[in-house]
Amino acid sequence: MFDSISIIGCGLIGSSILRAIKNKKLAKEIKIFDHSKEVTAYLKKENICTDVSSDIRQCVVNSDLIIIATPLSSYKEIILSIKDSLKKDVILTDTGSVKKEVMKIIHNINLKDVHWIPSHPIAGTEESGPKAGQAEMFENRWCIISPPENCAEQPIKKLKTLWETIGSKVKIMTPAEHDEILSLTSHLPHAIAYNIVRTVMSVEDKLKQEVIQYSAGGLRDFTRIAASNPIMWRDIFLDNSENVAKGIDNFIERLNELKKAVNDKNGDKLYQIFNATKEIRKEIIKAGQDTSKPDFGRKKD
């Protein structure tokens, strides 16, 4: 499908793409760059990729497709480093969780003869690093592609086919649509997960130990969500700050309503709140986004 693919950043997502592309034999050559020696040493040792560049320009010079899979805050420096080493008509994509800010950066750098088409595979776990990567990471998961308005058809098609071949369902939407939807489905829920863990853990030490001991009853699931890569999440919140702040305001408004019902001991109102959310769960199961099979808690003996 491609003569040469470069992957910049081989953590959880980058190394999963690497494994998937290799498994499906989608490129004659795959080159990687990662600023961490630990990461590149691991990938070499495990024979996942031997073509490791120590110079980022060297990594991309012959590529038809470059995939940036690093935190959002590193894009500018990366693109400035490689911009004079790019092959004509190269496809440049990424895997970041926010799009609008990155579009501005790319626009300002004013790349020539480059097809910049951002991607966002909605996949991952709370783990970080290449050890946690999996070739199957993208199977049956959405990947959102947000091409700029003036983008050519052919490169979009080629990138779409790549994601589909490694298992994704692809949806095309604008950067603004993407950032709004993701602020609701992912960024706000993560803000809340981080906040509940921080709130609960602010109690005094003796109680804190007991809270950890008996965390199976709900808190545990939040700590899993709140254990993801802190740099990645910092960058997401910086780049999508407007949508996230708006979401937090709406959230607090509704939480005050819930608190009022609790304080007033308003059973009817509480029932109404708790019953409405049950219906939404059904719609999500219907949309194929989760299974109705109950979760008995993930702790195995």
Q: Which of residues 234-253 bind a copy of itself (CB under 8 A)?
A: 234, 237-238, 241, 244-245, 247-252
How big is the site for a copy of itself, counted in residues (CB under 8 A)?
111
Asked if 157 contacts 171 with a C-beta cutoff of 8 angstroms, the reply is: no
The C-alpha atoms of residue 241 and residue 115 are separated, in whole angstroms, by: 27
71-110 residues in contact with a copy of itself (CB under 8 A) are 73
Q: Does 1 bind a copy of itself (CB under 8 A)?
A: no
Q: How far is the CB of 223 from a copy of itself (least distance, A)?
A: 5
Q: Please state the closest distance from residue 74 (CB atom) to a copy of itself, in A.
A: 13
Which residues within the stretch 126-155 sit at the binding site for a copy of itself (CB under 8 A)? 126-127, 132, 134, 136-137, 139-142, 144
Task: Compare residues 125 and 165 and give the one whose CB is closer to a copy of itself.
Answer: 125
205 binds a copy of itself (CB under 8 A): no
Query: Which of residues 2 and 237 has its CB atom nearest to a copy of itself in the complex?
Result: 237
Q: Which whole-number Å values give the CA distances from 256 to 123, 183, 262, 274, in the listed order?
A: 33, 21, 10, 15
Please report, to the nearest 10 degrees, the dihedral formed by the alpha carbons of residues 16, 19, 23, 25 taken in order. 100
Residue 158 or 220: the one with the smaller Cβ distance to a copy of itself is 220
Min CB(157)–a copy of itself separation in Å: 22
Q: Give how far Cα 133 sits from Cα of 59, 128, 193, Å.
A: 21, 8, 23
Applying the rule CB under 8 A, the residues between 17 and 36 that interact with a copy of itself are none
Least Å distance, CB 63 to a copy of itself, is 29
- Structure tokens belonging to residue 193: 């997960």
170 is an interface residue for a copy of itself by CB under 8 A: no
Least separation in angstroms between residue 128's CB and a copy of itself is 9
Q: Does 198 interact with a copy of itself (rule: CB under 8 A)?
A: yes
Choose the binding region for a copy of itself from 25-33, 38-46, 108-116, 273-281 (rule: CB under 8 A). 273-281
* Cβ contact 116:94 at 8 Å: no
Q: Do 49 and 43 touch, CB atoms closer than 8 A?
A: yes
Residue closer to a copy of itself by CB (options 92, 197) is 197
Which of 38, 55, 80, 271 is the binder for a copy of itself (CB under 8 A)?
Answer: 271
| Least CB distance to a copy of itself at residue 249 (A) | 8
* Torsional class of 110: left (φ above 0), alpha (ψ -120 to 50), beta (otherwise): left
CB closer to a copy of itself, 62 vs 174: 174
Residue 183 DSSP class: I
Alpha helices in the chain (DSSP H): 12-23, 37-45, 56-60, 75-82, 100-109, 153-165, 175-182, 188-200, 205-213, 219-225, 230-239, 241-263, 267-286
